[in-house]
Structure 1
Amino acid sequence: MKYINLTGFALIGLTVLMYSCKSDLETEPIELQTLEEIFNPRDSAGANAERFLADCYRFLPNTGNRVGGDFLDAATDDAVSSNPTNTSAQQLALGTYTADSYPDNFWATGYQGIRRTSIFVQNIDKVPLKGKLENGTPFNRVWKAEARFIRALLYFELVKRHGGVPLLGDKVYQLNDDINLPRQSFQECVDFIVKECDLVKDSLRVDPFNLAFYGRPTKSAAMALKSRVLLYAASPLFNGSNIDPQNLLTGYTDFSAARWQVAEEAAKAIMDLELFALEPEFKNVFISRNNERIFSKQGDNNTSVENNNGPIGYSAGVNNGRTSPTQELVNAFGMENGLPITDPNSGYDENDPYAGRDQRFYATIFYSGAMWLSRPVQTFEGGADKPGGTRQQTKTGYYLRKFMGNFEMATNYSNVNHDHILFRYAEILLNFAEARNERLAVPDQTVYQAVERIRRRAGLVPAELPSGLDKDQMRGFIQNERRKELAFEEHRFYDVRRWKLAEQEFNKELHAAIIFQTGTGTIRQETPVYKMNFEKRMYLAPIPFSEVIKNPSMVQNPEW
């Protein structure tokens, strides 16, 4: 038997089918119910069907410390893992993995979720739901659209890792089926995802701020997924025959400016809704449900981010200090006057390097002297948060601050909203600016305005960019704004790849700030942590070896 990891992928269906029912709506675990129980023609309330749909949401991607205990960004030039062992993130950064051991393997989970959502799509119309949205859309259509949105997002998670993957449509394969499916091209996958977004958007809920349905996709969520997919498709990695000379993976034979135009239009369509706004306080974007969030996977109110990543010297070991931002990321944040620290007019003082910086720096990174839990962070050598010895601690002189509550003057933590934010409005503005800049010969005022909205919220004065920038100069500003604005939100790892800059940016030495407090003052030194390694084959993740060996039609990615 040949299959796309239908171990687990088909076992969901097998488990659902192998148990008999006791009563029509008995609330036994959903995985122990038959399809006849779940999609019951006598259940006009759709109780079991809704439970099945709710279970589909668990396949949505998580964010945070999810890659072997680390942020994905710890596999980029923005951070390293504080863990002293050879972590999954470090393997990604150094390329020390094989097709049989990819550290961020989503293949099985993705196709399990795709299968489960397809079961729902195929069967929900058997349930005579009576409810409708305010606009008259029947709940059958709404729920089906939600399942199709989840499925489209899962396909994108696979495509951004691997390029083209097998597309299954609505078909649900069984264990006894002979599944010997080839990969579709990247373009075919993009076309499928975009088409799904277009087909479902008008059947989804409209109000993204209705807390009663928080975590359910809305029309704008489908539009945001479309925007991101089309931005990737227009980017240099995929916009042309860059990886696979046979075009099996990219599907494109040459560069096309038209792909930037459709990406621009997709982002502009969300801006034209006039539903979303940048949250005035950057820190609050991540700890309160607000009008900048477009779509999130529901998380918990807890202190998990703080405990995982906070500086280690507080409250008898409550923090694990897992994430160490690099000096490279610190240097990417300019000054509050909008100038980079390398500009002689910026006012940057190497003897007081953390003064007068971009406000996002303070919301993203703990540095030595930053206030936290009513005392300054101490990352100087021998300080409370870098004591030396064997305890896990910062490797760079910095800790992650982003996503944490406002505990600067508190004495202990309290629960904080830690949803998994998958789409937010700041990304859409940057998507638009990037796509339009690439389409035009010279950036126009709409490009400037989109970037400057981000910079204005960051508190830069002036927020305006230098006038008269050419396309290349504007590209540099946009790329740096994405790095600062979207840090630790799982963009940098893929942005640098899709820009086809990874052979340059991810082959560099990463640095730490070593700080010594002496009787006469402070001594600061930059020292290497390790050198990243990037090879051309790493632009795309390998197809799991187990899938290639089972399926002769499953073509492996180049050089894997």
Structure 2
Amino acid sequence: MINYKYSLFSLAFTALVFTACQKLEDRPLELITEEYLWDSKDSLGTNASYFLNDIYAGLPNGYNRIDGNLLDAASDDAVPSADNTAISRFTNGGYSALVNGDDAWGSNYTSIRKCNLFVQNFPKVNLKKSDPAIFIQGQYWKAENRFLRAMFYYELIKRYGGVPLLGDRVLTINDDLRLPRNSFDDCVNYIVSECDAISGDLRPDPIPAGDYGRITRSIALTLKAKALVLAASPLNNPGNDIGKWRKAKNALADVIRTGVYSLETSFANVFLVRKNNEVILAYQRALTFDVETNNAPVGFINGTTASRGRTSPTQELVDAFPTRKGLPITTDLKSGSNPTGYDANDPYANRDLRLDLTVFRNGSRWLGREVETFNGGRDRPGNSTVQTKTGYYMRKFMADFSNGTAYSNQTHNFPIFRYADILLLFAEAKNEVDGPGTGADSVYTYLRAIRARAGILLGTAPNTYGLTDGLRADQMREQIRNDRRVELAFEEQRFWDLRRWKIAEQVYNKPLHGIRITKTGTALSYQVETLSIPFQFFAPRMYRYAIPYSEISKNVNLTQNEGYQ
């Protein structure tokens, strides 16, 4: 029986084996033992490979994972369409050490324990020494396991700051479990050192199609870079130590210099093609249409099942998308001399093409008809059905069903790391270290590459792709932050960006908005409306998650984050 009192560090091995070995079908599960799993006669390491695959399952999977909602519904980019969901605790002050819809502490420490069990037990497996390929496979597995452990620590420090580092230890209830927290910098240094140590032992890039989803050398470089960016950002670098930004910049440059990745020509293909040039690491999922069913507008029926429309993007997100010229909609206004500017009476014309690939809005085409989010429309009927609160639904990640009659299974691997993110982070770090610069290796180069792929028009110098030469570092910083917002929407980036930039208290503590559309005959009128949804951020408390009370109460050396009981 599992002793739940010590659930963090002492998950019972038998229960863990049952979870890890669901594919072992040559004997009943109740007869699977530690000796069987780590069988010295298993010369191919089959059982151990199943255990490692189970550890992979602990990687982040962002689709509707918090009470049926995306994490972005706890940022200024979206709100949940339903009332009283767990995700709202992050925006209405209901989050605490006792209540948290994103239990990352327990899940990631459970995965770390599995990694340490692998470290402890895999040497018992005598892989077939006469076959070099099998021996090399074993070396890969050991390095992959260490990467995964570092990744789980990264997920913890994003949320909690410094956490206890266990090394290779597999603790039991007979050990002293009163472990103190390591510092945030200790944890970052551990992640970086692990990535450095295993880099040469991981699979080289590019990876064969049959191994896609396995950890490679460039993926380890990416995790290292992401950890260093987190360490350099204002939340964790209040003194703005440029040396930390320089380390992050150099690590990001190492990822770029591998030459393994590039921007996909098609923005949509990034999320629909299982193996492509841009995705560095993704959570591997079976072919499904659950993203469509969960998030498409509510008026569409797939067979006998209505789409659920769980995610309502905000007007703030929609307004962040520039015009086709790459300019803000507040400055590129339609006029007699500028007929392709923004028009409040036709607000979706002449906009960044990513808008229609990210958000369903009134007039979008889907399953053979136009989306109707005007008052009383089929996708905003105004009855008791859960429906959009903002006049918008999430469109990103979905295949093109504009003229289809039903959903069909699609690739929906959740992107954990992708190259566009790395380019934007490199631009951010370079801007902090060197300023915007000029020439071929300036910050402009990386932002313009992202905008060009998005279909932003070239324009003419000194304003190309909507970026004017001669920006100051603070002006470029705002451009980068907005580019991250529109490029990476719904990819679990905005929520963390607002925190690491330490601007959440300015962003959250003001109203969010949607669009109210009235249809009279064939004419449409648009009115921005304020949402009656609490949107609060209590600083400094909410910059970190609370360590669960269940952990604090049984470990006197585990200090709670600031502002929590």
Give me the TM-score of the superposition, normalised by structure 2: 0.91
**Compared with structure 1, are the counterparts of its residues 288 and 26 closer, same or farther at alpha carbon in structure 2 (3 Å cutoff)?**
closer
For 1:337, the equivalent position in structure 2 comes to 325
Asked if residue 553 in structure 1 is aligned to residue 557 in structure 2, the reply is yes
From 307, 314, 329, the counterpart of 1:319: 307
> Which deviates more from structure 2 when the two are superposed, residues 53-62 or residues 330-339?
53-62
1:23-102 → structure 2 map (5 Å cutoff): 27-28=26-27, 33-83=32-82, 85-102=83-100
For 2:337, the equivalent position in structure 1 comes to none
Cα deviation, 1:330-382, whole Å, max 9, x if unaligned, reads 00001111111011456000110001110110100000001111111000000
**Compared with structure 1, are the counterparts of its residues 314 and 104 closer, same or farther at alpha carbon in structure 2 (3 Å cutoff)?**
same
From 534, 538, 547, the counterpart of 2:537: 534
For 1:264, the equivalent position in structure 2 comes to 249
For 1:103, the equivalent position in structure 2 comes to 101
For 1:188, the equivalent position in structure 2 comes to 186
Cα deviation, 1:393-421, whole Å, max 9, x if unaligned, reads 10000000000011111111111101122
Asked if residue 275 in structure 1 is aligned to residue 260 in structure 2, the reply is yes
> Which deviates more from structure 2 when the two are superposed, residues 379-388 or residues 284-293?
284-293
Q: Is the 8 A contact 1:6 1:175 kept in 2?
A: yes
Alpha-carbon distance in 1 for matches of 2:266, 2:413: 17
Q: Is the 8 A contact 1:117 1:148 kept in 2?
A: yes
For 2:461, the equivalent position in structure 1 comes to none
Asked if residue 388 in structure 1 is aligned to residue 388 in structure 2, the reply is no
**Compared with structure 1, are the counterparts of its residues 17 and 341 closer, same or farther at alpha carbon in structure 2 (3 Å cutoff)?**
closer
Q: Any idea what SS the aligned residue of 1:158 has?
A: helix
**Compared with structure 1, are the counterparts of its residues 50 and 399 closer, same or farther at alpha carbon in structure 2 (3 Å cutoff)?**
same
> Which deviates more from structure 2 when the two are superposed, residues 455-464 or residues 425-434?
455-464
From 281, 286, 292, the counterpart of 2:278: 292
Alpha-carbon distance in 1 for matches of 2:389, 2:297: 12
Alpha-carbon distance in 2 for matches of 1:169, 1:306: 41
Alpha-carbon distance in 1 for matches of 2:27, 2:95: 42
**Amino acid paired to 1:229:** A
Q: Is the 8 A contact 1:95 1:534 kept in 2?
A: yes
From 442, 453, 466, the counterpart of 2:449: 453
Q: Is the 8 A contact 1:131 1:138 kept in 2?
A: no
Alpha-carbon distance in 2 for matches of 1:207, 1:274: 10
Moved over 3 A (4+): 3-6, 14-18, 25-32, 130-137, 441-445
Asked if residue 207 in structure 1 is aligned to residue 205 in structure 2, the reply is yes
1:379-528 → structure 2 map (5 Å cutoff): 379-445=373-439, 446=441, 447-462=443-458, 463=465, 465-519=467-521, 521-528=523-530
**Compared with structure 1, are the counterparts of its residues 406 and 134 closer, same or farther at alpha carbon in structure 2 (3 Å cutoff)?**
farther
**Compared with structure 1, are the counterparts of its residues 410 and 514 closer, same or farther at alpha carbon in structure 2 (3 Å cutoff)?**
same
Cα deviation, 1:452-477, whole Å, max 9, x if unaligned, reads 11111000012262100110011001
Cα deviation, 1:406-452, whole Å, max 9, x if unaligned, reads 11111111111011221111011011000110112453443111111
Alpha-carbon distance in 2 for matches of 1:345, 1:526: 17
How many Å apart are 1:139 and its aligned residue?
2.3
**Compared with structure 1, are the counterparts of its residues 139 and 131 closer, same or farther at alpha carbon in structure 2 (3 Å cutoff)?**
farther
How many Å apart are 1:12 and its aligned residue?
3.9
Asked if residue 348 in structure 1 is aligned to residue 342 in structure 2, the reply is yes
For 1:244, the equivalent position in structure 2 comes to none
Q: Is the 8 A contact 1:40 1:126 kept in 2?
A: yes
Alpha-carbon distance in 2 for matches of 1:30, 1:266: 45
1:100-179 → structure 2 map (5 Å cutoff): 100-130=98-128, 138-179=136-177
**Compared with structure 1, are the counterparts of its residues 196 and 27 closer, same or farther at alpha carbon in structure 2 (3 Å cutoff)?**
farther
How many Å apart are 1:33 and its aligned residue?
2.7
Unmatched segments (≥5 aa) in structure 2: 335-340, 459-464
**Compared with structure 1, are the counterparts of its residues 334 and 303 closer, same or farther at alpha carbon in structure 2 (3 Å cutoff)?**
same
**Identity rate of aligned residues, in percent?**
47
Q: Is the 8 A contact 1:130 1:138 kept in 2?
A: no
How many Å apart are 1:15 and its aligned residue?
3.5
How many Å apart are 1:277 and its aligned residue?
1.1
**Amino acid paired to 2:300:** Y
Q: Any idea what SS the aligned residue of 2:388 has?
A: coil
**Compared with structure 1, are the counterparts of its residues 451 and 411 closer, same or farther at alpha carbon in structure 2 (3 Å cutoff)?**
same
**Amino acid paired to 1:284:** N
**Compared with structure 1, are the counterparts of its residues 531 and 193 closer, same or farther at alpha carbon in structure 2 (3 Å cutoff)?**
same
How many Å apart are 1:227 and its aligned residue?
1.3
Alpha-carbon distance in 2 for matches of 1:179, 1:98: 23
Q: Any idea what SS the aligned residue of 1:487 has?
A: coil
**Amino acid paired to 2:491:** E
Alpha-carbon distance in 2 for matches of 1:225, 1:491: 15
**Amino acid paired to 1:329:** L
**Compared with structure 1, are the counterparts of its residues 29 and 307 closer, same or farther at alpha carbon in structure 2 (3 Å cutoff)?**
farther
**Amino acid paired to 1:385:** D
Cα deviation, 1:181-219, whole Å, max 9, x if unaligned, reads 000000000000111111112111113442211221111
Give the aligned CA root-mean-square deviation in angstroms: 2.3
**Compared with structure 1, are the counterparts of its residues 464 and 517 closer, same or farther at alpha carbon in structure 2 (3 Å cutoff)?**
closer
